[in-house]
Amino acid sequence: MKKTLLASAALAALMITTGAQAAEKTKFDFWFGLSGDLEKRVQEVCARFNASQNDYEVVCTSQGNYDAALQNTIAAFRAGKQPTVVQVYDVGTATMMLSDAFVPAYELMEKNGYKIDWKDYIGGIAGYYASSKGQMFSFPFNSSTPLLYWNKTAFEKIGKTAAPKTWEEAHADAEALKKAGYECPIAINVSQNESWQLLEQFSAIHGEPVASKNNGYDGLDAELVFNKTKFVKYIKDLKAWYDAGLVKIKSKDQGQDMVQAFAAGDCQMIMTSVGDHGTVGRTAKEDLSWDVAMLPVYEGTERKNSLVGGASLWTLKGKSPAEYKAAAAFLAFVAEPESALFWSTVTGYVPVTESGFAYMKSHGFYDKAPYKGREVAIASLTATPPTPLTRGLRLGGFTQIRAEVGNGLQEIFSGKSDVQTAIDGMVTRGNAILRRFEATYKGKTLP
């Protein structure tokens, strides 16, 4: 009996020990800057990863928005309490590259036994997050690019069956829509966030610089130059069309943003992210017939690839080998084609690799009504191989620069300033921000 009791106790102890060992997972933190419905979708990605294996557990925490995610991470790093992985938005790339606070993605994966085909990443996306040598420093995550959303029913009433490919054509279409009784042919927003499509994307697809030094890639001494490019004509045209009633300003502080205005059928053309494709599909009025197309260009322009927007995933220094092994497993999971299909299905963001895009096409993703049209974003990102002016922007303090662009646009459309004077002011104030950033990182060069 005694031996039996001892054997039972030993067995119980073994089971408890084995259970404890099985329960021991390497936990690591992932901070991100998305909120609302997108926060729920990120949590779903985390839950899928945790359920896919038994060795690691990612703890995912929203910081509320992109700015907060970056600033909170900087503060946490200084205090030695940084997460292992953090999502950083596109314009924070220069700050991260100069921070010396991260483990390069290519190095992390190689050290942990993962062979990643970095050339599989779509060029228009990879260029934003790679060094000058083409080494990927972070993993592209939620990626997007802007599209033209257009109301097919309204266009049919003016005898059109396709979206405008040029701004000259868009102007004529807007005039025809106005004559047909549509009060808002084109809706735009002029907040600081609209620099992304009104300035940055416009410049890229027209092959024109936002800044010298190949948009900052070739040095921290870059200067803004968009007051001397086609951007000036573009804003002059938009302002003239606004004055003629062809363009309306739609923003949340007015009670209806441009996505809502389009989905309600109140405005017939908008330019917004492919990430809004799902929102329009879910909220469009019942009889709305709509589609998407690449952004227009001016006649005589050889279209270039558009820029990626969104954010990427960075791994931070100061963590244990076990946490890095866990982080590498998580990043590899996120990069799988199956993950790309799930992520694009529940968000509207585009796949970041050629294999992910091919996988989605092979599963008929783009043939399904809710998702049809999202492939146009890939066509826009891959319209041409990235050039020195279309791989992205590598400018410090760009969040503040975007704010200055937004302020200047508001001056223009409120009639407080003429176009050239306002754009010159954007450039002057923006260059002051660049000089402060350059001074902060004096002696450093971009990798």
Domain-ending residue, one of 367, 386, 412: 367
In a domain, 445, yes or no: no
Domain count, the chain: 2
Q: Which domain holds residue 172?
A: 146-306+396-440
Closest CA to 179 of 244, 249, 237, 262: 244
In a domain, 7, yes or no: no
- Range 158-184 average pLDDT: 98
pLDDT reading at 426 higher than 50 = yes
- One domain for residues 328 and 297: no
In a domain, 379, yes or no: no
Distance CA 270, CA 147 (A): 8
Phi, psi of 75 (to 5 degrees): -65, -40
- Range 368-383 average pLDDT: 94
Domain-ending residue, one of 352, 367, 382: 367
Enter the tokens of residue 100. 């010396």
In a domain, 5, yes or no: no
**pLDDT score recorded for residue 24:** 87
- DSSP state, 294? P
Q: For residue 29, what is the domain's CATH number?
A: 3.40.190.10
Distance CA 181, CA 157 (A): 10
CA distances in angstroms from 371 to 37, 98, 346, 365, 376, listed in the order given:
18, 38, 10, 7, 11
The residue that leads in pLDDT, 17 or 422, is: 422
Phi, psi of 214 (to 5 degrees): 50, 55
In a domain, 387, yes or no: no
- One domain for residues 363 and 317: yes
- One domain for residues 157 and 138: no
Closest CA to 189 of 271, 269, 255: 271
**pLDDT score recorded for residue 192:** 63
- One domain for residues 171 and 295: yes
- One domain for residues 115 and 152: no
- Range 394-420 average pLDDT: 95
pLDDT reading at 212 higher than 50 = yes
Q: Which pLDDT band, with edges at 50, 70 and 90, does 161 fall under?
A: very high
Closest CA to 338 of 325, 354, 356, 313: 356
pLDDT reading at 13 higher than 60 = no
**pLDDT score recorded for residue 10:** 46
Model confidence pLDDT, tens digit, residues 21-50: 455 899 999 999 999 889 999 999 999 999
- Range 74-96 average pLDDT: 94
- One domain for residues 154 and 248: yes
- One domain for residues 96 and 211: no
| CB of 64 closer than 8 Å to CB of 71 | no
- One domain for residues 296 and 322: no
Distance CA 258, CA 252 (A): 8
pLDDT reading at 332 higher than 60 = yes
Helices 167-179 & 230-243 angle (0-180, nearest 10): 0
Q: Average the pLDDT over each of 7-16, 51-60, 175-184 and give the range with the smallest value.
A: 7-16
- Range 179-188 average pLDDT: 97
**What residue type is assigned to position 110 of the chain?**
E
CA distances in angstroms from 235 to 89, 224, 413, listed in the order given:
26, 17, 10
In a domain, 312, yes or no: yes
| CB of 329 closer than 8 Å to CB of 224 | no
pLDDT reading at 12 higher than 60 = no
- One domain for residues 279 and 423: yes
- One domain for residues 296 and 325: no
- One domain for residues 315 and 228: no
Q: What percentage of the chain carries pLDDT values higher than 70? A: 95
Q: Which pLDDT band, with edges at 50, 70 and 90, does 430 fall under?
A: very high
Distance CA 95, CA 397 (A): 8
Please report where in the chains the tokens 């084109």 appear, as a residue.
Answer: 186
Residue 383, helix vs strand vs coil: coil
Model confidence pLDDT, tens digit, residues 127-155: 889 888 889 999 999 999 999 999 999 99
**pLDDT score recorded for residue 66:** 92
Distance CA 233, CA 318 (A): 49
**pLDDT score recorded for residue 36:** 87
